[in-house]
Amino acid sequence: MLRNAKRSSLRGAAAVGGNPQDLRSTKIFELKTRCPGLLERVADSEFSLSFSCGGTEYLLIITLPIEFPFASPVLSVQPPAQHPLLDEASTVCGITDLTAFSIHASLPDIVHQVLSEFITVPLSKRQDSATSAASSSSGIVEARSPPMTMYMNGTIPSGTLPGDVRLRSTSIYSEVNALSVDDLREWSTDDMKVKEFAERLPHVRTRKEALRQLAESNEALAKANLSTKDGLDEKRCRVLALYEELSQSKQQFDTSQETFRLLERSYNPQTLKDGLARSAQEAEEESDGIAQQFLNKELEVDEFLRRFMETRTRSHERSAKAERLHLQLEALHRAGF
């Protein structure tokens, strides 16, 4: 039997054009990625996901057989609990996608669907028969359990769930209960029939209707957005023009700011003082050069006197201005400026 399952797995892998181990690794990676908080109990074989329901902490155990993803995974709940989706062993068996599992099914979607069902219909603790017997023998009288209603996937106390939930569960499985063994065998080999049955379920139709309404709402919103396209394009062009104008103004501002900095450095008091001192020194050196020319008999007396007096006077004036500016700057510095 194991040899036949393995041969079937290889045929399935060949049909989808992939290596069985690669497909298994891909499915496991998808499960780990889309299920935060997933713990790996056995490498690539068994995982657990903790969740709280009705004030009790539970673990959803996900067991992957060797033939996975060509064989259905096994989902169970620990500690044992009662729920319309659980059998006597607390194994999930009421999910269509899990029952008709195929290589194209999404295991994370199945896990999310199971947890969603547990939120809609909370789990109830399973009564331990050994504990009940011990309590009875010790003389402890416990409250009588509510009457049990039998479902095809297990038993749950009638008083623990609302009537509409019991009615919904009964309506879901009534058609399955009416099927013959041959019909069920045909279902096990025909995914389309299982899919058609799932699509006829009330909550599936309700969700499809909700999706249709959302699609219509999105379409109306898209049309409303498209109606504003012309106005948005016009405003976009206006914004681009303003941005271009801003860029030009910024460039002019940068140029003016650089000119201002150059002028500021030129008219800085310290710069002016240094310039006066430097020009006074240059004038003095020029007058010394004129005197040397006169000594070398290169200049006449009148020419010498005129040029020497001009340059020497200019040198003294600039030296005096530099000294006076220096005193003024020191006074400002002492005053705190």
- Tens-place pLDDT, residues 108-126: 999 998 888 888 888 888 7
Crossing angle for the helix pair 191-199 and 202-227, to the nearest 10 degrees:
70
- Tens-place pLDDT, residues 163-209: 333 334 445 566 677 778 888 788 788 888 778 877 877 778 888 88
- 49: domain CATH number is 3.10.110.10
Task: Evaluate whether residue 33 is within a structural domain.
Answer: yes
Give the strand pairing for 39-42 and 74-78: unpaired
Higher pLDDT pick, 318 / 48: 48
Same domain flag for 29 and 120: yes
Tell which of 125, 150, 167 closes a domain.
Answer: 125
The residue among 276, 261, 279 whose CA lies nearest residue 325 is 276
Same domain flag for 251 and 311: no
Domain count, the chain: 3
Same domain flag for 66 and 24: yes
Task: Evaluate whether residue 211 is within a structural domain.
Answer: yes
Same domain flag for 253 and 296: no
The residue among 332, 283, 290 whose CA lies nearest residue 308 is 290
Mean pLDDT, range 89-101, rounded to an integer: 84
Same domain flag for 313 and 250: no
Does residue 246 surpass a pLDDT of 90?
Answer: yes
Average pLDDT, the chain: 78
Report the Cα 21 to chain-centroid distance in Å. 30
Task: Evaluate whether residue 11 is within a structural domain.
Answer: no
Poorest-pLDDT segment among 137-141, 245-249, 333-337: 137-141
Tell which of 82, 101, 125 closes a domain.
Answer: 125
Which pLDDT belongs to residue 303? 87
Task: Evaluate whether residue 310 is within a structural domain.
Answer: yes
Task: Evaluate whether residue 140 is within a structural domain.
Answer: no
Query: CA-to-CA distance for 253 and 276, rounded, in angstroms?
Result: 32
Same domain flag for 197 and 101: no
* 136 close to 119: Cβ distance less than 8 angstroms: no
Does residue 132 surpass a pLDDT of 70?
Answer: no
Give the domain range for residue 185: 177-263
Place of tokens 């290169």: 298
Task: Evaluate whether residue 4 is within a structural domain.
Answer: no
The pTM for the full model equals 0.38
Tell which of 247, 263, 279 closes a domain.
Answer: 263
Task: Evaluate whether residue 219 is within a structural domain.
Answer: yes
Confidence of residue 138 (pLDDT cuts 50, 70, 90): very low
